[in-house]
Chains A and B, each alone.
With several copies, the nearest count.
Chain A
Amino acid sequence: MKNENRKSNKTKLINNLYKSLYRIRTIEEKIALIYPTDQIKSPVHLSIGQEAVTVGACAALLEADVVFGTYRGHSLYLAKGGDLNGMMAELYGKSTGVAGGKGGSMHLVDTNRGIMGMSAVVATTIPQAAGYAYAFKVMKQNNIVVSFFGDGATEEGVFHETLNFAALKKLPMIFVCENNQYAVLSHQSERQSNTNIAERASVYGMHSEKIDQNDPYTIYEKVNWARNQIIEKGRGPFFFECMTERYREHVGPSERDDIKTLSAEIVDPLQQLSKLVSSDFKQNVFKEVDLELKQAINFAEKSAFPAKDSLYKDVYA
């Protein structure tokens, strides 16, 4: 590939990353604004500040690649291409929501986009991701699975059980830890004897790396490289610990008041990207996102609540 081509590819990618990040930030900030109106009767765990991880990682994935996440899932859902209308309606508890109003903010899903689900119980989707990757492996499907989880999840036993299994079976998957250093109000150092999560993962015999930048492009590059290693060389699994920062409360719309200053080293990814993108491009993005979001809110508001008898549907397949 010529140098110029490569450069223009990079520009395109940066533009896309910017757009994705701006879009998610804007949507979540809007959710925070709507929240006090009580139309969203669901506990929302916002990713504001830490979108870089899911935005960067998902930029390296194909639609048929699969992700699993947590209750803090809006950003992952949107970055992986999940339908915004379906998400908004789900938050509003409407029948047109991705889970028909039965899942709410914590259980987003969009199987057409490879978004296989999110759980309110910490660490529970980690082994599920490995199971999905096992299926890819035996079915010889050329796709990968990415498991997203927080720093707190790495304390749960099942995290360790899954890393061992994934490494043992050389699964086509990537573990991505969104390390915002907190579990609710508890800092990592209160909970972990060794806060270097990438190091802890490395002993299972897999490539494991800490990414300090909170920068979607860096994360994209790493995940893209790992994905290629898996698809082309049959290597895997890979582990990335991505240092990041959550700006809002653990749950709910408010700004954090539990930490005075955010870590100095960690930069706001949106501000950073913003410098790399033309203002024309940005103006377009602003408009597009604004329109899309208005329509989605309108869709959610106008949609009907589920019929009463749907209470009894889908208990069994």
Chain B
Amino acid sequence: MPKSNINTRSISYAEAINEATRQLMSQDESVFVLGIGVDDPRGIYGTTSNLSREFGQDRVVNMPLAEDAITGIASGSSMAGMRPIVVHERMDFMLLAMNQLINVAAKSHYMYGGAVKVPMVVRSIIGRSWGQGAQHSQALQSFFMHVPGLKVIAPTTPYDAKGALVASIKDDNPVIFIEHRMLHNYKGQVPKDLYSVPFGKARILRAGHDITIVGISHAMVECIRAAKSLATSSISAEVIDPISLSPLDVQTICESVEKTGNLLIVDNGWTTCGASAEIMSLVIENVQGQDKVNMKRMGFEFVTSPTTKILEDLYYPDSRRIAKAGYDLLMGKETDWEPDVQESPEIDEFKGPF
């Protein structure tokens, strides 16, 4: 990731997505955006703002409420040479589109023996906070990782958001592009020009040697905070952002684990059959027979997301609990170490409705 320089400036994650979309739409006529409310003045949290004014309603298509058809329409158009970007305001709505995504889009290239290509991006946003509750806060990355034929990417920084979206749009496969509502307002240095962040390459966001912490999507932000807490107790955590979940860069993770001997995986999602289970299993398969590694997964509590804040706060792993888990893992037992309290301003300051 670049340091600030003449060609970069600080913009938000949402702006980075907007910019990647705009630049590619200018460059390539076949790129278009479709989804419920994409031309709405609020522009899906700013990520699609002004695109319809610039490119017209044929290329920024406000759709009827029809997620399954929207997905089929996108894949059909992609077979005709277009490059659709479908947008879902909530990832939960993708459950209405599983048939078209998994039975059709993911399989078309293979099932037709390579005769057709289905380049399409499906953007979706994981919700959180302010009583989003059961049906507006799901994080279903593992469903898509499970299925061959799909690629899955979940960038956490504005830099990676722009570059990964560019790579996704240019990719010739169906790509599930996962955002998190609590990341949209984050700012970071982003180059003005087009660039790609490649699939299958993890990023070490913080180097360290005592414990490896892998954080997915918004959990990454909490992991960085946890790493700072651990540092106050002289524990040096290496924090890795996989960015791309399918394909997944096992090698970078394994190299880190071989160095630290300890692995804490924190997903922004449920752990059962989740991304964290996959990463843990891959590490076992790769490092077994070598040195002993301590491992732990964290994620959403295995319950439905409640709306009331007092329970919601317990539902998500926060930096405090992550730091504590890391510490205890390292010590090999439950300790009474208490981490510094780290603030999570993006959550505390977020106010409804959405």
Contact = CB atoms under 8 A, between A and B. Distances in A.
Does chain A touch chain B in the assembled complex, meaning CB atoms less than 8 Å apart?
yes
Interface of A: 38, 41-44, 66, 68, 93-94, 97-107, 109-111, 116-117, 119-139, 152-153, 155-158, 161-162, 164-165, 168, 183-186, 190-192, 251-252, 258, 305-306, 308, 310-317
B113 A101 contact: yes
Given A155-B64, A251-B354, A99 B130 contact: no
Contacts of A316: 109, 149, 151, 172-173
Contacts of A41: 130-131, 307-309, 352
Contact count band on B? 35 or more
A123 B65 contact: yes
A103 B114 CA distance: 10
Given A156-B65, A156-B66, A99 B72 contact: no
A157 B69 contact: yes
Contacts of B256: none
B71 interface: yes
Contacts of A158: 66, 68-69, 72, 99-100
A313 B114 CA distance: 8
Interface in B39-77: 40-42, 58-59, 62-77
A130 B69 contact: yes
B108 interface: yes
B58 A138 contact: yes
9 pairs of A and B residues whose beta carbons are closest in the complex: A131-B76, A127-B72, A93-B308, A128-B76, A42-B131, A104-B307, A135-B80, A99-B113, A161-B69
A131 B74 contact: yes
Contacts of A133: 76
B103 interface: yes
Contacts of B135: 106, 119-121
B131 A105 contact: yes
B13 interface: no
B195 interface: no
A124 B99 contact: yes
B119 interface: yes
B306 interface: yes
B317 to A, nearest CB: 13
B92 A101 contact: no
Contact of B69 (A99, A107, A162, A313): A162
12 contacts: A43-B131, A98-B112, A101-B113, A116-B76, A121-B104, A128-B104, A139-B80, A156-B67, A156-B96, A306-B310, A314-B110, A317-B117
Nearest to B118: A317
Given A41-B131, A43-B353, A111-B115, A132 B76 contact: yes
A135 to B, nearest CB: 3
B171 to A, nearest CB: 8
Chain B binding site: helix, strand, loop or mixed by DSSP?
Answer: loop
B116 A116 contact: yes
B315 interface: yes
Contacts of A317: 109, 114, 117-119, 172-173
Contacts of B69: 127, 130, 157-158, 161-162, 165
Contacts of B315: 311
B32 interface: yes
B76 A129 contact: yes
Contacts of B32: 138
B308 A102 contact: yes
B119 A131 contact: no
B314 A308 contact: yes
A253 B217 CA distance: 31
Contacts of A136: 80
Contact of B68 (A94, A103, A161, A191): A161
Given A184-B37, A312-B301, 16 more contacts: A42-B130, A103-B112, A103-B113, A106-B133, A106-B307, A119-B103, A120-B134, A121-B93, A124-B99, A124-B100, A128-B73, A135-B81, A161-B68, A162-B66, A311-B306, A316-B109
Contact of B72 (A98, A100, A162, A183): A162
Interface string B282-321: 0000000000000000000111101111110011000000
B8 interface: no
Nearest to A168: B64
Contact of B311 (A121, A190, A258, A311): A311
A153 B133 contact: no
B270 to A, nearest CB: 12
A130 B72 contact: yes
B111 interface: yes
B344 to A, nearest CB: 15
